[in-house]
Amino acid sequence: MNPRTVLLITIMSLLAAGCAFGYHARGTLSDIPGEMRGKAFPGNTQGGGRFMLVDARGALRCDGEMAPPDTAPQPGSCLGESGRGSIRCSDGRILAARWRALSCRTFEGEAADAQGNRLIFQVERKR
Give the per-residue pLDDT at 104. 85
Residue ranges in the chain whose pLDDT is less than 50:
5-20
| DSSP-based three-state secondary structure for 35 | coil
In the chain, what is the straight-line distance between the N-terminal and C-terminal CA atoms, in Å?
33
Looking at 1-127, list the stretches that DSSP marks H as alpha helix, in order from N- to C-terminal side: 3-18
Domain presence at residue 80? yes
Domain count, the chain: 1
Measure the CA–CA gap between 111 and 116, rounded to whole angstroms: 9
Give the per-residue pLDDT at 75. 74
Give the per-residue pLDDT at 21. 57
| DSSP-based three-state secondary structure for 36 | strand
Domain presence at residue 16? no
Domain presence at residue 46? yes
Give the per-residue pLDDT at 16. 40
The CATH number of residue 41's host domain is 2.40.128
Give the per-residue pLDDT at 11. 42
* pTM, to two decimals: 0.78
Max CA pair span of the chain: 62
Give the per-residue pLDDT at 99. 95
Domain presence at residue 65? yes
The answer to whether 83 and 66 are in contact (CB under 8 A) is yes
Domain presence at residue 7? no
Domain ranges, residue 107: 22-126
